[in-house]
Amino acid sequence: MALTSGRESDESQLVGRMGGGRDFEGRVAVVIGGASGMGLATAELFAARGAKVSISDVDAERGQRAAADLLRGGSRAIFTPADIRVLADLERLAERTVAEFGRIDAVFLSAGRVEADLGPMLELYLQGPANCVTALAPLLARSDAASITFTGSTSGLRAHPGAPWYAAAKAGLVGMTRTLAVDLARQGIRVNAVCPSGVDTPMLRATMRGTEEEIESRLAEQATRKPLGRWVTASDVANAAVFLASSQASMITGVSLPIDGGESL
């Protein structure tokens, strides 16, 4: 592509920014729900890209193990137990992260579990994210990577027959994402959501009945009905979440990004 100015070409600048090396070097990522599944995969990817990682989860044993594994791999990591439904827990997480690492650049919220009733669902998927913003947004560093990324769902973007409470909570999170993106923009904070369809995680498998072999067979059969022929993985979500938190996405805010291999189409 020919350019008439004397500046380095846009293509060359793009090549310099792409590649996903250690572009989070010197930055700090908070991963809430980072003990397993999508949260753990995202914590590991942040660390691989050079970030110091502050993990929190209600599962203290797994969370401590996740942080220890990152430390053994040469990354800087800490673990703080926290329940997103308890604002004081998140305030303690924020304070400890800043005390340990000096700053917070990116927040990724992946906490969740199966709930049967509407009240607990709203508390987990709406009050929890609101608590995260209240506790962490005031401490986010002002940089091109200052971001909050929620975990939504394609259920918040379309109908999910048989799961109205879950769909309502996730649709509310999509609305929260859009509005917070506007409200926090002047503070230099971007707000986005990743919206996967069903993700092949231990939590998904725990909801399925049958032997391990039967579950594997059912998942394989269901995968054949998906446009790209496979289930979404935790790594698929981590790749999108880390991209949205990166300076490569510095002009992306208010987006709820479907990660479903075309299933919602």
**Is 166 among the catalytic positions?**
yes
Distance CA 91, CA 81 (A): 12
CB 21 within 8 A of CB 45: no
Structure tokens belonging to residue 170: 């996730």
- Residue 123, classified by CB atoms within 10 Å of its CB into exposed (0-12), middle (13-18) or buried (19+), is middle
- β strands within the chain, DSSP E: 28-32, 52-57, 77-81, 106-109, 147-151, 190-196, 256-259
- Residue 54, classified by CB atoms within 10 Å of its CB into exposed (0-12), middle (13-18) or buried (19+), is buried
From the list 79, 150, 166, 231, the catalytic residue is: 166
Distance CA 109, CA 92 (A): 16
Structure tokens belonging to residue 20: 């996903």
- Rounded to whole angstroms, what are the CA distances from 73 to 31, 48, 70, 140, 155? 18, 9, 5, 26, 36
179-185 contact pairs (CB < 8 A, 24+): 180/133, 180/148, 181/253, 181/254, 182/254, 184/137, 184/148, 185/253
Instruction: Give catalytic residue positions.
Output: 166
